[in-house]
A and B are shown apart, each in its own frame.
Chain A
């Protein structure tokens, strides 16, 4: 049982929380303007790293607030808990953010690139 330090209520067992998957994922601001591929990216394609992951959790049995954490998916160590609208301050977590293809300032560039290269499937 993970111990998650809710920024408001303090440390609680993971069973009190709802998992929200990848953090820093932004909905395309104008969904009508993006391709099916970009929309599929938004809907279905999450980071799934073996190692440090920036992810969203919600203290559903407590204060009901969403927040972000940086957690290692192998060791389960939690490096940082930070607000939903902030970036991590931990250096390793920050590096993970910087490498993320979905990171905000690269989202647009990526979107175009992905639309071109994702001719996958049969």
Chain B
């Protein structure tokens, strides 16, 4: 029988990336591997308290992310959310959520393996992102705790600003991940890029 944990590959594994780069690089680029991802579809008016407990608070408002302990929840649409968990915690949370909703019309779909998370961080991260993203990333419009679904050139992404470094997480369908990574690495040449392991 195969060992499940060692036989897991991310789409970026095949790029043979080497960790490192200049210490004064304007941005760092890394992958957050196998973060649990649950897509939640529910009418937000009907949230049982148990769900708030699981997510560490109420569901996020439009364009917002909430942080609840080991769980981060991002608003995707009027009845759609993306819940990020520690790797491996998604199945238990999925079951707990379904139980918490107890028969309500909801969908909790495991998308952990559907998408890849690339983190771009550093003083020039916004500059690099603006090369491929059309939405306004100025702190007055988009700050830590904000999220948006949008296009990064040819790839559809969910963008989350995690902190004021600023650090961004770009969630992209697996088969677009190598494209997005290469694009970001190329677009970072003018400010310098360091590849990191997260």
Task: Identify the A interface with B (CB < 8 A).
Answer: 8-10, 12-13, 15-16, 61-65
Contacts and interface: CB of A to CB of B under 8 A. Distances in A.
B89 interface: no
Contacts of B77: 8, 62-65
B80 A13 contact: no
B76 A63 contact: yes
Q: Ordered nearest first, which 6 A-B pairs have the shortest CB separation?
A: A63-B77, A62-B149, A61-B151, A13-B134, A61-B156, A8-B78
A81 to B, nearest CB: 14
7 contacts: A8-B78, A12-B134, A15-B151, A62-B150, A63-B78, A65-B77, A65-B78
Contacts of A61: 149-151, 156
A9 B63 contact: yes
Contacts of B151: 15-16, 61
A21 to B, nearest CB: 22
A16 B150 contact: yes
Nearest to A7: B78
B62 interface: yes
Given A12-B150, A16-B150, A63 B80 contact: yes
* Interface of B (DSSP majority class): strand
Interface of B: 62-63, 76-78, 80, 134-135, 148-151, 156
Contacts of A64: 77, 80
Contacts of A65: 77-78
B89 to A, nearest CB: 26
A9 B75 CA distance: 10
Contacts of A13: 134
Contacts of A8: 62, 77-78
Contacts of A63: 76-78, 80, 149
Nearest to A10: B63
Contacts of B78: 8, 63, 65
A51 B148 CA distance: 33
A84 B42 CA distance: 19
A15 B149 CA distance: 13
B134 A62 contact: no
Contacts of B63: 9-10
A101 B52 CA distance: 48
Contacts of B80: 63-64
Contact of A12 (B76, B135, B156): B135
